[in-house]
Amino acid sequence: MNDVVTSGRSRAGGRAARQTLRATRDFRMLPGLTRNIPVCEVMDGGQVEKIDNASMDILENVGVLFRDPIALADWKKAGAKVVGEMVYLDRGLIRDMISTIPSEFTYHARNPANSVRLGGKHSVFVPMTGAPFLRDLDDKRRNPTLDDLAMFHKLSHMMPALHSTAHHIVEPYDHPISQRHLRITYSSMKHSDKMFMGMTTSPRNAEDVLDMCAILFGDDFLENHPVTTGNCNGNSPLVWDETMLGAMRAFSRRNQPVLCSPFVLGGANTPANVPASVAQLNAEALSALAYTQVIRRGAPAVYGHYLSTVSMKSGAPMAGTPEISLMNFMIGQMARHYRVPWRTSSLLGGSKIFDAQAGYESATTLSATLHAGANYIWHSAGWNEAGMHCSVAKFIVDAEQCVMAYRMAEGPKWGDFDAALAAIPDIGPGGHYLGHPHTQANFQTAYFMPELFDNNSIEQWTAEGEKDVTARALALARKLLAEYEEPKLDEAKNEALLDYIARREREIPAADELNQSY
């Protein structure tokens, strides 16, 4: 994919260099990103206090609806004021609860080389999930299958900047919905040895995922090590429902991190004002983060959100708008204020096809999330049509964009500054550097060269068939899939997982309605 992830180094130009690059393609995962550029903070200390105070006022006086009898009982026991389904959370209680959330932790992958750190300066890229459609290897839009899901898990495994295979990148329609979570989880586990996400479509489904994790990692290991991630969406404004809270309990009880994600459509379910929307979102996130600590003190949890602004024309979520960037900057500040890791969404597109719109939207979101200092950077590959489809072409291009963002966020490299400076008098005014030994030794590592962006002359591009980036990405996807090598599961664990799935599929009735989740 690029110089960072190719072993060896070519000093020849043109075709020979290209062949060398291809020959040495290296699929090894990049380590979790350790950011080394400053975060973009758009609020001063007083404004952070204003948001904090407004959120605490909301929690104390407006309250949060927990539509779940167990959560209501839990909150009562924890000392909150509970009136019907409404929970009023005192700021002292909130601050006390969130104080035990770890500010950083390590995710363990079944291949220890692929374990990654999260929180503080440590960030990971995770592919998109939840698409009810895909645009396939022929760019055809259709319903996905388990094979399509496996394809995306394989590609996630091979793209160096993706640190996770996530879970249901696409919804596999060829399997009964009620049993789908088992096959999805197995697909993530089988096709890659990176970390993965856990389905939260119901409390029982979450338990199944965690039982499978226990098979893969061992019960004791699971108890003390984050290995997967659950996402729990809130219904903004200020509502958490039974399904999500039940799934949250399953994860937190077993010490597995949960993304506490209000689902915000700015202006539709928040006020028509950016800081006030952040205040509401912040209250929502805090209420769920605090609840994870009611479930189990010290359990890892992540400040989440799904964040968009809505089109007045269609009511649909938009991507890459200025307010989404600003809210990301502000939410990052709030999460750092509370010292909890935070999640955002990246590389989002609202286009129906992989055109320039999708490119602008995706790159704008990616840039904002990097400058915002987000930790868990979700939906980082494939997302288009507001999440309605995952595009194979876009998946490949997005994954390379993550490599580029990764390099940007690492900051400038000063290692050989003096040696590089020494080349300047060697070359002198009017010279050129390509033949200089320092250039020949360092060109590939000094400057990133995107594989999927065509920078040839128009004559060459025409001679090569006038391929747009979609065509080039799909060709690369086919090539990658042909080169895929499965990182085999331990035979005994594999059988235990298959036994578990077989047993649960006998137990779970096969309903066939369709679900979606984000």
Binding flag, residue 444, its own copies (CB under 8 A): yes
Size of the site for its own copies (CB under 8 A): 132
R_g of the chain, CA atoms, integer Å: 24
Nearer to its own copies by C-beta: 62 or 511?
62
How far is residue 7's CA from residue 160's CA, in Å, rounded to a whole number? 13
Evaluate whether 427 touches 53 at the Cβ level (below 8 Å).
no
CB of 171 to its own copies, least distance (A): 16
CB of 308 to its own copies, least distance (A): 10
| Residues 28 to 57 in contact with its own copies, rule: CB under 8 A | 36-38, 40-43, 47, 50, 54
Question: Three-state secondary structure along 228-276?
Answer: CCEEEEEECCCEEEHHHHHHHHHHHHCCCCEEEEEEEEECCCCCCCHHH
Contact stretch for its own copies (CB under 8 A) within 114-122, 192-200, 224-232, 305-313: 305-313
| Residues 207 to 236 in contact with its own copies, rule: CB under 8 A | 235
Nearer to its own copies by C-beta: 137 or 498?
137
Binding flag, residue 439, its own copies (CB under 8 A): yes
| Residues 262 to 291 in contact with its own copies, rule: CB under 8 A | 266-277, 279-280
Evaluate whether 290 touches 97 at the Cβ level (below 8 Å).
yes
CB of 142 to its own copies, least distance (A): 12
Evaluate whether 403 touches 161 at the Cβ level (below 8 Å).
yes
Evaluate whether 243 touches 67 at the Cβ level (below 8 Å).
no
How far is residue 389's CA from residue 352's CA, in Å, rounded to a whole number? 8
| Residues 85 to 104 in contact with its own copies, rule: CB under 8 A | 86
Candidates 23, 73, 449, 463: give the one binding its own copies (CB under 8 A): 449
Candidates 8, 13, 45, 92: give the one binding its own copies (CB under 8 A): 13
CB of 295 to its own copies, least distance (A): 21
Site string for its own copies, 133-162 (x = CB under 8 A): --------x---------------------
Binding flag, residue 65, its own copies (CB under 8 A): yes
- Please, what's the b/e burial string for 219-235 (b: 16 or more CB within 10 A of its CB; e: otherwise)? eeebeebbbbbbbbbbe
Candidates 84, 112, 430, 509: give the one binding its own copies (CB under 8 A): 430
| Residues 231 to 250 in contact with its own copies, rule: CB under 8 A | 235, 237-239
Between the alpha carbon of residue 169 and those of residues 146, 172, 254, 270, 348, the distances in Å are 10, 9, 24, 28, 14
- Residue 438: how many CB atoms within 10 A of its CB? 18
Site string for its own copies, 165-204 (x = CB under 8 A): ----------------------------------------
CB of 52 to its own copies, least distance (A): 13
Candidates 22, 45, 62, 516: give the one binding its own copies (CB under 8 A): 62
Candidates 442, 476, 480, 497: give the one binding its own copies (CB under 8 A): 442
Burial of 288 (0-12, 13-18, 19+ CB in 10 A): buried
DSSP 109: P
Candidates 19, 99, 111, 314: give the one binding its own copies (CB under 8 A): 314
How far is residue 509's CA from residue 135's CA, in Å, rounded to a whole number? 31
Binding flag, residue 468, its own copies (CB under 8 A): yes
CA atoms within 13 A on the CB side of 212: 31
Binding flag, residue 404, its own copies (CB under 8 A): yes
Question: Residues near 250 by Cβ (< 8 Å), separated by ≥ 6?
Answer: 203, 206, 207, 210, 230
β strands within 362-435, DSSP E: 376-378, 383-384, 389-391
Contact stretch for its own copies (CB under 8 A) within 71-79, 124-132, 261-269, 338-346: 261-269
| Residues 361 to 400 in contact with its own copies, rule: CB under 8 A | 361-364, 366-368, 371, 385-386, 388, 394, 397
Binding flag, residue 518, its own copies (CB under 8 A): no
Contact stretch for its own copies (CB under 8 A) within 72-80, 212-220, 246-254, 402-410: 402-410
Residue in the block written with tokens 């490119």 = 359
CA atoms within 13 A on the CB side of 214: 13
Candidates 257, 320, 382, 387: give the one binding its own copies (CB under 8 A): 320
